[in-house]
Structure 1
Amino acid sequence: MGIVKISDVLHEEIRKSSQVMSRSINAQAEFWIKMGMLAELNPSMTFQSLIKLELEKEQVDLGELIYE
């Protein structure tokens, strides 16, 4: 684990977003970093497709929830 230097403005936006998403500030920053990396590696995929891919990778079964 290391320290990443970010601007105060970005830190504030991460803080606000973390409250909305019920994540810690670190978890929100990690999520945005991970999704940004996935987006760069898969430029033809949408955000929703990337999320679905990650859920499938973790074998999350949303079948019953999706079709309610």
Structure 2
Amino acid sequence: MATAIKLSDELIEDARRYGDVFSRSAPKQIEYWSRIGKIAEENPDLPFNFIKELLVAQREAEEGQVTPYQFG
């Protein structure tokens, strides 16, 4: 569900700038920051890079880009 919210011009401009680098729109960049921030708040012991790699691995699994590990 989409909801209109008021955000500072500075946040929108930062999101636009970072989003351009990572091929995301400003709203998608803000959603990404929000998701990372929520995960970091819920798991304060996890480093940022671990959270980022976890999200990448989750996306790869959703897209079927994983191979089951064979023990032994």
CA RMSD of aligned residues (A): 1.4
Q: Where does residue 5 of structure 1 map in the other structure?
A: 6
Give 5+ residue unaligned stretches, structure 2: 67-72
TM-score by length of 2: 0.73
Please tell me the residue identity of whatever aligns with 1:30: E
What residue number does 1:30 align with?
31
The one-letter amino acid paired with 1:35 is I
Deviations 1:3-52 (A, max 9, x none): 12110111111111111111111111100010010010010001111122
Offset of residue 55 of structure 1: 3.0
The alignment's TM-score, normalised by the length of structure 1, stands at 0.77
Identity %: 33
Structure 1 segments, 4+ long, off by >6 Å, are none
